[in-house]
Every structure is written in C-alpha cells, then in structure tokens.
Amino acid sequence: MAGPVSQIVLVSLTEKSGKTTVAASLKEGLRRRGIKAPPIIEAPALGCSELEEETLQDILAGRGDEDYLILVLRLGESDVGGNIESVLALNAALEKQRGRGLDLVVPTQVPAHSWEEFAPGLYDLAEQLGEERVADFIPY
C-alpha cells in the first residue's frame, strides 16, 4: 500500500463480531501514539460463506487503494475450519477485485480456555496469508 491510509474499513463474516470494539481500540491506540485516526467504517456483516460478486462490489464501493481493509473474525462459538475457508475465499476474491487481499485479520472472541482448539486454524491462516496479516487473538 502506497501513501497514508485514507480510511479503515472493518468487515466481518457475522454480526456481533466485535467491529465496534476493534474500531474503538484502534482509535485509542492511535491517539496514544499521537496519530490522528483516519475515518473508520464498519461495513455490514457479509453473513455468508460463499461470497457473491455483488457483495464484494458493495464492500469495495467508493474504496481506494489507500484504504486499509480489516476483517474482524469472530471465532468464539463457530466452526473454525469453515471460517478459515471463508476468510481465504474473501481474500482471494478481494485480490481479484482490487489487486490485493485483506490487509489484516483480527481474531476476536476466542475463549481463552479453548485456545488449543482454535490455534491450528489461526496458524494455518497466518501461514497462508502471512504472519504480518493476522493479529494476535483477542481473548473472550
């Protein structure tokens, strides 16, 4: 990505994924570093495992190369393998549409007592997307 970020777009596969919490944390973290946060937009949940062309066009409408696209991935009570497949499908579709995939994946609502259950999927995701594109999980 070249130049400064014009806006941060948060997307998720499901409702109640933690987008608002991630947005607030981002704003506060940037403020503490003396950086003015760009606008943070919370896109509606995708709500499907198979992404349609229209859905991607809606997400990307009005977005430029300087936008930073973050997927907030709720893992708490869901099928990790299915979510990982959906993330990889979304990433591939975004690469096709905008020339690059997701900028960052933020796993949320991972039950601390279930880390062993979720870790393999997250490691697989980091291996496929690159470690720098998968944030540390946010325990629940």
Range name among 52-66, 82-96, 103-117 with the lowest pLDDT average: 52-66
Residue 16 in any domain: the answer is yes
* DSSP-derived secondary structure letter, 14: S
Residues 54-80 pLDDT 10s: 666 666 666 665 678 888 888 765 566
Residue 140 within a domain: no
pLDDT for 127 beyond 90: yes
Task: Choose the weakest-confidence range: 37-41, 60-64, 95-99, 103-107.
Answer: 60-64
Confidence check: pLDDT of 33 > 90: yes
Query: Does residue 70 form part of some domain?
Result: yes
Asked whether the predicted pLDDT for residue 108 surpasses 90, the reply is: no
pLDDT at res. 130:
92
Give domain status of residue 31, yes or no: yes
The range of the structural domain enclosing residue 78 comes to: 8-133
Is 60 part of a structural domain of the chain? Answer: yes
Whether the per-residue pLDDT at 48 is higher than 80: the answer is no
Per the prediction, the chain carries an average pLDDT of 79
- Return d(Cα 103, Cα 100) in angstroms, integer: 8
- Closest CA relative to residue 19, chosen from 61, 55, 69: 69
**In a domain? residue 49:** yes
Q: How confident is the model at residue 53 (pLDDT cuts 50, 70, 90)?
A: low
Structural domain contains residue 1: no
Q: Band the pLDDT of 133: cuts 50, 70, 90.
A: very high
**Does the residue 3 lie in any domain?**
no
Helix axes 53-60, 80-98, angle to 10 degrees: 70
CATH of residue 94's domain is 3.40.50
Do the Cβ atoms of 40 and 7 come closer than 8 Å?
yes
In total, the chain counts a number of residues equal to: 140
Domain count, the chain: 1
Give the three-state DSSP class for 107: strand
